[in-house]
Amino acid sequence: MLYAAPEHPPGPQGEARRPRLRVLDGLRLLAALMVLAYHYITLRDGWGEDPNAFSPVVYHLSEYGWLGVEVFFLISGFVICMSAWGRSLGDFVTSRVSRLYPAYWVAVLLTAAVLTVWPNVRSADNWETVLTNLTMLQQGVGVPDVDDAYWTLFVELKFYLLFAIVVFRGVTYRRCVLFCGLWTVAGVVALKSNSDLLSVWAIAPYSPYFIAGIAFYLMHRFRPTVLLWAIVAVSFLLAQHYLRGRLVMNLGAKADMAHGWPVRLGVLLAFALMAAIALGWFDKLQWRWLSTAGSLTYPLYLLHMYVGFTLIDLLRSRVPAAVLLPGIVAFMLALSWAVHRLVERPLGKKLRVSMQKSVEEMRFHSRGRMSGAPSAKQREIIREERKPDPELLH
């Protein structure tokens, strides 16, 4: 969801590797900043009341910043389909785990430490909750998130698990289209079914974005077709159905006073931008700084909410809001860069190599070979799998 876009894999018929889609990195950071604006300007946490130090225009625009989450899910469908192409299930799992967990572990522990030392805005609950959060599976066992922003990660994990079925069989054009169709049907059926299991896995309010993202990637990798445009159109129309509920979820009682058209326009613009990316309009946009910006997105998203709220609470009486807010955003960007360089890159690489060795050993022994030292062929495979992954952490 929040990772930097990987290098584009070779296309059909062995065509040359396409240039990196750096525009996805920039779009991802923009989505993260939208979420920051919503949390820091619209919500009263940290300020103690509705912020009034910003112009009405800025305040009301920030009310729709939660749409950044929808943009994340749309990008995620595109990027996960791209990065899973040609990979085995073991490689796919290794890639996801080594990218999601290192920064997440640091964010959970750092957020818990801040909320323990300064429980002004919120307490860290207890350390049992913190330890369970380290699994990223806390919502599945009914444990609250240390940081409310983590709810999107569980949605992402569900998408990964569902798409892992396609990866297990081998990612192909036909299987991706079939996956999109079946998931769309499941989301529609879940609305009227009494099956909690189906509702949990269909994730109907968010699945249209993942599905459209997959279809957009198929357009980009191959070419646009009526079938792919139909998948996108149905996903867009289904997404519209849930926007009112999402507005109420994020604004509460203020939703009655907020206009609905900016939400629908925002989703339309997101789909239009992804369509332009799918059609290759931004392939020549190769500003390297976009990749650096994209690498900050994931740690920024993980760290910003309650660490930022706590800083606002501690400093609001001494620093003018118009100065405090940009300062906190700059600080969070710097902290995110530090986490990326000092944690994501080194720890992610070590975790990836360790998991690759474990997966290869499992494959080796599952082929009925005698245990013992790997053969020359197996050692060559291990060396190949240890080579740097072309993807970068988001």
Answer for the pair 382, 374: CB distance below 8 angstroms, yes or no. Answer: yes
* pLDDT value at residue 40: 94
Q: How long is the chain?
A: 394
* pLDDT value at residue 15: 46
Task: Report how far residue 86's alpha carbon sits from residue 66's, in angstroms, rounded to the nearest whole number.
Answer: 34
Assigned token pair, 144: 């609250």
Angle between helix 67-84 and 261-278 (nearest 10): 20
Residue 381, SS3 per DSSP: helix
Q: Which stretches of the chain score pLDDT less than 70?
A: 1-19, 50-53, 368-394
Q: 83: how many CB neighbours lie within 10 A of its CB?
A: 25
3-state SS, one letter per residue, for 25-43: HHHHHHHHHHHHHHHHHHC
Closest CA to 34 of 75, 82, 81, 80: 75
* Phi, psi torsion values for 224, nearest 5 degrees: -65, 140
* pLDDT value at residue 53: 64
Residue 145, SS3 per DSSP: coil
3-state SS, one letter per residue, for 84-108: HCCCCHHHHHHHHHHHHHHHHHHHH
* pLDDT value at residue 322: 86
Assigned token pair, 98: 């080594």
Task: Report how far residue 206's alpha carbon sits from residue 299's, in angstroms, rounded to the nearest whole number.
Answer: 22
Closest CA to 78 of 19, 28, 136: 28
Q: Concatenate the DSSP letters of all residues of 288-324 into one string.
A: HHHHHHHHTHHHHHHHHHHHHHHHHHHHTTTS-HHHH
Question: Residue type for 129, please?
Answer: T
Task: Report how far residue 141's alpha carbon sits from residue 133's, in angstroms, rounded to the nearest whole number.
Answer: 10
Assigned token pair, 131: 């330890």
* pLDDT value at residue 390: 45
Q: 50: how many CB neighbours lie within 10 A of its CB?
A: 11
* pLDDT value at residue 57: 83
Question: Residue type for 53, please?
Answer: A
* pLDDT value at residue 115: 96
Residue 368, SS3 per DSSP: coil
**How much is the pTM?**
0.88
